[in-house]
A and B are shown apart, each in its own frame.
Chain A
Amino acid sequence: MNFKNLSIKYKLIFFSCITAFVALSLMAFVFVLYNWNDYKKSLYEDVESLSEIIASNCQASLMFNDQESASEILSSLKFKPYIISAVLYDAKNKQFVKYGSSDCKILNTSFYGKYLYYYKKIYSDNEKVGSICLKASLSQIYNKFYNYIILTICVLIIALIITTFLALKLQKTISQPILKIVNIAKKVYSTKDYSLRVEEEPRNDELGILIKSFNSMLSEIQSRDSNLEFLIYQRTKELEEAIEHLKELDRMKSEFLSNVSHELRTPLTSVRGFASIIKKDFEKKILPYLNEIKDKKVERTSNRILDNLKIIISEGKRLTNLINDVLDLAKIESGKIEFKKEQVNLEEVLDEAAKTIELLAKEKGLYLKKEIEGNDFNIIGDRERLIQVATNLFGNALKFTEKGGITYRIKEKENEVICEIEDTGCGIPEDMIEQIFEKFKQVGDTLTEKPQGTGLGLPICKEIIKNHNGKIWAESEVGKGSKFIFVIPKK
C-alpha cells in the first residue's frame, strides 16, 4: 500500500503519531540518560560521604592499631546493603580490616563492571595512616534504572495511545470537510447532478472557504446548465415542431399529388378519348374527301391537322404516363401501396421485361444478350413491381442506345441476387449519376432534346427496390454506355 494513496484521514493520524512518538522518545531518551547519570552520581556521592565517615572514624583505630574497633565501625555498613565489601588498609597497604566477602584491591576510584570501587587514603596531620576501599554494587541503581525505563516506556505507550485517540478525534476537523467535498465531487461527477451541495460549516478557515467556493461553483454550473438545458429543450421542441410540420407538409403534398393526379386523369382521359375519336373520324371520314379535292393547300392543312392531332394524342399519352408515375410515386412515398410478399424468380422477372423490348431492339438493330451466374434467383417480393423496375431499366437502355446492344445479367451471390442491365449507349456524366434517381431529373437538356420520359421512372425504381430492402445504383462512362445494378437480398 502506497503512503501517497492513503486517505488524508490516516495521513493526519500518522503525522500526529509520528511527531508525538519522535518528541516523546527524544524526551524519554534524554530523561533516561539524565536519570542514569543522576543515579550514578547520587550513588557515587553516597559512597563518597560514607567513605568520608568511615575514614574519619577509622583514623584513630588505624593509628592505634585497633582492629576490633575498626571492624566494629565497618560492620555498621550492613545498613547500607549496596556496599558489598569494604577493606581498610594500614599505612603500608596491608589489609587491616575487611568487611564483606569479596575483595577490594583496586587502588583508585572507578566504575568497573557492575560495581563502583571507591578508594580513599586516610591521613592524620598530613601523614598517611591507611586507606579504605569500598565496593558498591550497581544492581540497585540498575534495578532503579530498569524500573525507570519500563515506566518511561509505559508512559510513552500511554501517551501514544492518547495521542492516537486525540489525533483520531482532532483530525476530523480537517479531514471531514475534505472528505465531504470529495464525496460530493465524486457524486456530482458520476450522477451529473449539480444540485448537490456540500454541507456548509460555520468556519472561516481555508476549508470553510473551500467548501463555500465549491458550492458556489456548483451553483454557477447548475444555473449555466439549466439555461443550456432550457435552450436545448426549446430548440428540440422547435425542431420537432418543424419536423412535424414538414412531415405534415410532405404528407399533404403526396395527398395533394395523388388527388390532383387522379382529378387530372379524368378530364385527360376524355381529352385523349375525344382526340382519338377526332383523329379516327378525320382519317377515315374526312381525309379521303379532302384528298379528292387535290388542292395542295387543303392537303397541307389536312396533313398538319393530322400531325397536330397525333401530337395531342401522344402528348396526352405522355401526360397520362406522367400522372400515373406521379401517382405511383406519391402512393409509394406516402406508404399507400402494399407490396406483396410472394416468391419471385428474378430470372423470370428479367426475361419477362426483356420480352417487351425484344421487338423494338430488333427494329433498332440492337442485340439483346442474357448472362447467368448461379442457379437460385428466388427472392421474396412483389413480382409485378419488380417487373416494373426491370421494364423501366430496359426501356431506358433501349431509349439511349443507338448502336451495339443491351446485355442483362443475373448473378447469385451469397445471400443476395444481383441484376445488371448494361447498354452501349451515350452514358451518364459522372456528376449526374447520383441525380438520376431524383425526381424529374433526366440526363440531357429536356428543352432541346425530345423529351422521352417522365423523369420519374428511376425514382420509382429506387422506391420499389428500397421496399425490397435492396439497393440500386448506376455505373457509367460517357460515350461507352451505362450499367444499372440492383441487388435484392434473398430473405
Chain B
Amino acid sequence: MVKFRIQILTFLVFYIFTNLAFSAPVSEYKIKAAFIYNFVKFINFPNNSFKEFKICYWGDNFYDDFKSIIQNKTIKNKKIQIRKISSLSQVKDCNIIFITSFSKEDIQSILKFLEGKPILTIGENENFLKYGGIINFILVNNKIRFEINNKQARKSGFKISSKLLRLAKRVIK
C-alpha cells in the first residue's frame, strides 16, 4: 500500500514536472536533448558491455537542459551520465559526443580523432556530416530536424534503425 502511494506520488511529481517543462517555451537544447535521448533507442551500439551510458558534450553548456529531460530515466537499462569534455584525451569513455557549434577546424580535428571509434558523434554544423559526423541537427521550417551519415555510422559499428533513417531529412548511404 505504501509502495503504491509512493508510486502515485512519484508519478504525480513526474507528470507535473514534465508538464511544466513542456508548457514553458521549450528551448532549442531541450529539444535536442530529447532527440538525443530518443536516438539511442533506435541505434544499436557496437560494444554493449559498458555499465553506464556516457553522454558527453563539447562546447556550450548543455548539462542542465539535458538533465531536465533525462532525470532518472535509463537507456536500455543503463544509467545515463552526462559529462562535459574539452580535450580529446577525455573522449575515450564517451558513448555519445554532442559537439555544439564550433569552428570548422575543431570539428574536423575531433572527428578525425574519433573516426573508427565506437562513439556516436552528433553535431549541429551544416558540414558536420561531410567532416565525418554521424548525426547532425538542422532546422527545417523552424523545426528541429536531423540528418544521418549512415556510411560513417556503419564504419564505426553502429546500426541505425530504418525508422530513424526514415525520419532523417537526409541520409548519406
Contacts and interface: CB of A to CB of B under 8 A. Distances in A.
Interface of A: 57, 59-61, 63-66, 69, 92, 124-125, 127
B41 A64 contact: no
A64 B164 CA distance: 9
Contact of A60 (B31, B143, B145, B164): B164
A66 B41 contact: no
Interface residues of B, number: 18
A82 B116 CA distance: 51
B38 interface: yes
A64 B167 CA distance: 8
22 contacts: A57-B163, A59-B163, A60-B42, A60-B161, A60-B163, A60-B164, A60-B166, A60-B167, A61-B167, A63-B38, A64-B35, A64-B146, A65-B143, A66-B167, A69-B166, A69-B167, A92-B19, A92-B22, A124-B38, A125-B41, A125-B75, A125-B76
B117 to A, nearest CB: 26
A92 B23 CA distance: 11
B142 to A, nearest CB: 13
B48 to A, nearest CB: 15
A63 B167 CA distance: 10
B42 to A, nearest CB: 7
Contacts of B143: 65
For the complex, would chain B's binding face be called helix, strand, loop or mixed by DSSP majority? helix
A63 B41 contact: yes
Contacts of A69: 166-167
Sorted nearest first, the 9 A-B pairs with minimum C-beta distance are: A60-B163, A63-B38, A66-B167, A64-B167, A60-B167, A69-B167, A124-B41, A60-B164, A125-B41
Contacts of A92: 19, 22
Contacts of A63: 38, 41
Nearest to A58: B163
A70 to B, nearest CB: 10
Contacts, number: 29
A64 B36 CA distance: 10
Given A60-B42, A65-B31, A69-B166, 12 more contacts: A59-B163, A60-B161, A60-B163, A60-B166, A61-B167, A63-B38, A63-B41, A64-B38, A64-B146, A64-B167, A66-B145, A124-B38
Nearest to B143: A65
Interface string B59-102: 00000000000000101100000000000000000000000000
A85 B89 CA distance: 55
A92 B19 CA distance: 9
A65 B22 CA distance: 13
Contacts of A66: 145, 167
B133 to A, nearest CB: 18
A64 B73 CA distance: 18
A28 B156 CA distance: 66
A65 B161 CA distance: 17
A391 B17 CA distance: 162
A63 B166 CA distance: 13
A139 B14 CA distance: 44
Contacts of A57: 163
A425 B146 CA distance: 168
B39 to A, nearest CB: 9
Nearest to A69: B167
Nearest to B40: A125
Contacts of A59: 163
Contacts of A124: 38, 41
Contacts of B163: 57, 59-60
A373 to B, nearest CB: 139
Interface in B120-173: 143, 145-146, 161, 163-164, 166-167
> Which of B19, B76, B163 has the most C-beta atoms of chain A within 10 angstroms of its own C-beta?
B163
Interface in B25-42: 31, 35, 38, 41-42
Interface in B1-59: 19, 22, 31, 35, 38, 41-42
A63 B164 CA distance: 10
A64 B166 CA distance: 11
Nearest to A60: B163
A311 B42 CA distance: 177
Contacts of A127: 73
Nearest to A66: B167
Nearest to A70: B167
A59 B166 CA distance: 12
> Which of A57, A59, A60, A127 has the most C-beta atoms of chain B within 10 angstroms of its own C-beta?
A60
A63 B37 CA distance: 10
Nearest to A64: B167
A61 B165 CA distance: 11
> Which of B31, B41, B145, B164 has the most C-beta atoms of chain A within 10 angstroms of its own C-beta?
B41
Contacts of B146: 64
A60 B161 CA distance: 10
A125 B39 CA distance: 13
A237 to B, nearest CB: 124
Contacts of A65: 31, 143
Contacts of B164: 60
A66 B31 CA distance: 13
> Which of B73, B75, B166 has the most C-beta atoms of chain A within 10 angstroms of its own C-beta?
B166
A63 B31 CA distance: 11
Contacts of B166: 60, 69
Nearest to B164: A60
Nearest to A59: B163
B109 to A, nearest CB: 30
B10 to A, nearest CB: 14
Contacts of B35: 64
Contacts of B76: 125
A124 B163 CA distance: 13
Contacts of B31: 65
> Which of A57, A64, A65, A125 has the most C-beta atoms of chain B within 10 angstroms of its own C-beta?
A64
A57 B161 CA distance: 12
B84 to A, nearest CB: 25
B44 to A, nearest CB: 14
